[in-house]
């Protein structure tokens, strides 16, 4: 009879019942096949069209945000600058959420774009340091988990480019990554500050703030609950001022957006990750259909509050991309690209644990073997 040993403390998949292990393996294979069968979803704009914004070697959204920045540097207030450029290049102005919050562009107009890139690069470096410290000091994690920081690094490379620092999701996604690395239930304030900064840049960060608030509620940490509630209330007030400013600067005849019920499905999500991560430079699209499900499985395997938080962040945004996002909202993927592939480091042990449960139920291995 095989010897029964304590399963690895970090791996929540190490001792699953056979039916559940079989279900997860089938789901993993099904998602891979679905991604391959559906194929890549993408929007290829006509880059030669005069309606496409162009400025200083940039094109599309990059050029639009650069033009807004240059107008602010010349003394034009944010909302008049946004309205002028959106109208010129047929970008929607309604509803108010079609207009980005002014925080990032205002900050760049004060520092200048080169200094903004330098500051963003330092933010990326701080995020890498925080993740390395967390992965090397988190209890029970295997020694190889520290290599996940390289997967964070390659997806933060965009921060050294002036083109990408103009994109709000790039900076907000970096701040989400930093918040996850800093998050500790007993000391939530550093993560709260990072999420507050991210929320000031992009309102789509709100689900992360709500998730951390729910964890604080589960822990009955009433000070932290109060902090998260105060943060959400402050964000709501700021968003109301933003909505009022956009409404005052626009008219009912301005272009309206296409709505946010894209129902793009699984491959909308896969496509977003592919186009906003390192994969678009180093791998064919089919690689994403394999690596993304494996990354989610790895996050699922990571037992503990940080692993659970990271998995729920990834799963929540995946659902949002599948249900709400249109095909041309692919830049949303930058919110989760810096941290998604951390799960890839844990995927081999996760699959091994599932196969063990499937083929040898009731038999587990020692932590040192996983």
Q: State the Cα–Cα distance between residues 128 and 92, nearest whole angstrom.
A: 36
- DSSP collapsed to 3 states, the chain: CCCCCCCCCCECCCCCCHHHHHHHHHHHHHHHHHHHHHCCCCCCCCCCCCCCCEECCEECHHHHHHHHHHHHHCCCCHHHHHHHHHHHCCCCCECHHHCCCCHHHHHHHHHCHHHHHHHHHHHHHHHHHHHHHHHHHCCCCCHHHHHHHHHHHHCCHHHHCHHHHCCHHHHHHHHHHHHHHHCCCCCCHHHHHHHHHHHHHCHHHHHHHHHHHHHHHHHCCHHHHHHHHHHHHHHHHHHHHHHHHHHHHCCCCCCECCCCCCCCCHHHHHHHHHHHCCHHHHCCHHHHHHHHHHHHHHHHHECCHHHHHHHHHHHHHHHHHHHCCCHHHHHHHHHCHHHHCHHHHHHHHHHHHHHHHHHCCCCCCCHHHC
Relative to beta strand 54-55, strand 58-59 is antiparallel
Q: Which residues pair with 11 in a beta bridge?
A: 302
Q: What's the pLDDT score for residue 362?
A: 67
Q: What's the pLDDT score for residue 341?
A: 98
Mean pLDDT by 10 residues, the chain (370 residues): 50 95 97 86 59 88 96 98 96 95 98 97 97 93 94 91 93 98 96 98 98 98 98 98 98 89 91 95 95 98 96 98 92 96 98 94 52
Q: What's the pLDDT score for residue 367?
A: 42
Kindly tell me the sign of the dihedral angle through the C-alpha atoms of 185, 189, 195, 196. positive
Give whole-number Cα distances, 115 to 26, 108, 161, 167, 278, in Å: 49, 8, 11, 16, 24
Q: What's the pLDDT score for residue 32?
A: 96
Q: State the Cα–Cα distance between residues 320 and 318, nearest whole angstrom.
A: 5
From the list 208, 149, 202, 147, the residue with the least C-alpha distance to 172 is 202
Q: What's the pLDDT score for residue 158?
A: 85
To the question of pTM greater than 0.75 for the whole model, the response is yes
Give whole-number Cα distances, 268 to 40, 103, 123, 169, in Å: 8, 29, 29, 17
């Amino acid at each position: 009879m095989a010897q029964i040993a304590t399963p690895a403390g970090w791996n929540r998949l190490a001792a699953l019942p056979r039916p559940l292990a079989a279900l997860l393996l089938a789901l993993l294979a099904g998602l891979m096949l679905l991604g391959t069968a559906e194929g890549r979803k993408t929007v290829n704009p006509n880059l030669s069209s005069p309606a496409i914004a162009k400025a200083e070697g940039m094109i599309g959204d990059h050029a639009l945000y650069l033009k807004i920045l240059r107008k602010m540097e010349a003394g034009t207030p944010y909302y008049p600058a946004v309205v002028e450029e959106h109208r010129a290049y047929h970008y929607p102005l309604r509803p108010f959420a079609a207009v980005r919050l002014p925080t990032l562009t205002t900050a760049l107009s004060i520092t200048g774009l080169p200094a903004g890139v330098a500051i963003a690069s330092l933010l990326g470096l701080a995020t890498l340091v925080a993740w390395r410290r967390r992965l090397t000091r988190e209890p029970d994690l295997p020694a190889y988990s520290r290599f996940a920081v390289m997967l964070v690094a390659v997806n933060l490379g965009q921060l050294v480019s002036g083109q990408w620092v103009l994109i709000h999701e790039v900076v907000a996604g970096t701040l989400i990554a930093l918040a996850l690395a800093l998050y500790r239930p007993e000391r939530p304030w550093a993560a709260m500050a990072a999420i507050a900064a991210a929320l000031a840049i992009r309102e789509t960060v709100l689900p992360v703030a709500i998730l951390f608030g729910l964890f604080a509620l589960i822990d009955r940490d009433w000070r932290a609950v109060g902090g998260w509630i105060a943060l959400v209330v402050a964000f709501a007030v700021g968003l109301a001022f933003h909505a009022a400013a956009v409404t005052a600067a626009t008219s009912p005849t301005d272009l309206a957006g296409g709505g946010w019920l894209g129902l793009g499905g699984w491959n909308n999500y896969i496509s977003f990750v592919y186009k906003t991560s390192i994969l678009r430079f180093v791998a064919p699209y089919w690689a994403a259909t394999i690596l993304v499900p494996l990354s989610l499985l790895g996050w699922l395997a990571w037992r503990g509050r940080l692993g659970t938080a990271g998995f729920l962040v990834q799963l929540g945004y995946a659902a949002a991309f599948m249900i709400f996002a249109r095909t041309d909202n692919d830049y949303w993927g930058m919110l989760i690209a810096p941290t998604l592939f951390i799960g890839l480091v844990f995927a081999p042990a996760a699959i091994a644990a599932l196969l063990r449960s499937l083929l040898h139920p009731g038999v587990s291995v020692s932590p040192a073997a996983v």
